Amino acid sequence: MRTLEQTSTNARLTSKGSSDVRRLPVGKQILFSAIIVCALLVLLEGTIRLWPFYFRTSYERYNWTTGRLELVPNLRYTTPGGGEFWINSRGFVGPEFEDQPTPGVYRILPSAIRAHSRPARGGSAIRASWNDP
């Protein structure tokens, strides 16, 4: 029959001196970590791509050909705070406007819209294009 002291000594020896714990080699640890990180990044990418399709406001719609949210044309919207805005027939916020501006009127577009409408060129050509009528 074993005494309490022998049992605790044996338990201590098996818990400290046990070599039953197996570790993966460093190469496999790195590989499995990379797989987990890649899986999380793919999940995050999918979430970001699906978010605008399912969670958007009523005045936006997702355009599958361009991959962007666009404003719904011809819409009058009242915000929860009581503010109101109109989206014209071209999908811009504000009143309707003509294709060609009247003489003396200059339209200022954000650089993102201008970049899509005209291909990039050298610096001097871009400066010259701003002066084109």
Which mean pLDDT values do the consecutive 10-residue runs of the chain (133 residues) have?
52 54 90 97 91 78 82 88 88 85 80 48 45 47
CA atoms of 92 and 95, how far apart (whole Å): 8
What pLDDT score does 33 carry? 97
What pLDDT score does 130 carry? 47
Query: Is beta strand 60-63 parallel, antiparallel or unpaired with respect to 84-87?
Result: unpaired
- Angle of CA points 119, 122, 125, to nearest 5°: 85
- Which pairs with CB-CB distance under 8 Å and at least 24 residues apart come from 20-23? none
User: What is the C-alpha R_g of the chain?
Assistant: 32
Residue 68's contacts (CB-CB under 8 Å, 6 or more residues apart) are: 62
What pLDDT score does 35 carry? 97
